[in-house]
Amino acid sequence: MKTKKITLEDLKKKIQEYSTELPKSITQELEEKLSRVIDKLTMNDVERILNEVVRQYREAVVEPGEAVGTVGAQSIGEPGTQMTLRTFHFAGVRELNVTLGLPRLIEILDAKRTPSTPLMRIELDEKAKYDRAKAEELARKIQHVT
């Protein structure tokens, strides 16, 4: 059974019904994003989406007094340690000039506009994927252009 498409006004009213359960920033973003694809949505679709957003929001909410800072620090600390340890695996590799370890983590967390050494991951095609010499040749040809 096909239900009728909804109007922008219907969409706004339906999202408004959820405004007591969700922060304003989320309802605004929902309205903005769902209005872009409104021609593909039915009211049932919108209700399913809103119910899922509410469910995920409730799961993400933490209790007052919960140690989110400690958990956050631990979540950052472990990858930071891994990054620092990986730096030693590149010791002696002259061609590899990337910032790894703690300095790179600090750049990421501080959201620096111009990182000291930007890093790019490039997927290789089948010809170079398993051929180290071809991959290294390609890496030498890449240069930074501003």
Give the number of domains in the chain: 2
Q: Is the pLDDT of residue 29 over 60?
A: yes
Residues 6+ away with beta carbon under 8 Å from 111: none
Q: What is the mean pLDDT of the chain?
A: 81
Q: Is the pLDDT of residue 97 over 70?
A: no
Residue 2 belongs to some domain of the structure:
no
pTM: 0.52
CA distance 19 to 25: 10
Whether residue 56 sits in one domain with residue 72 = no
Q: Kindly indicate the confidence band of residue 102, based on its pLDDT and cuts at 50, 70 and 90.
A: low
Residue 79 has a pLDDT of 73
Whether residue 136 sits in one domain with residue 95 = yes
Average pLDDT over residues 73-88: 72
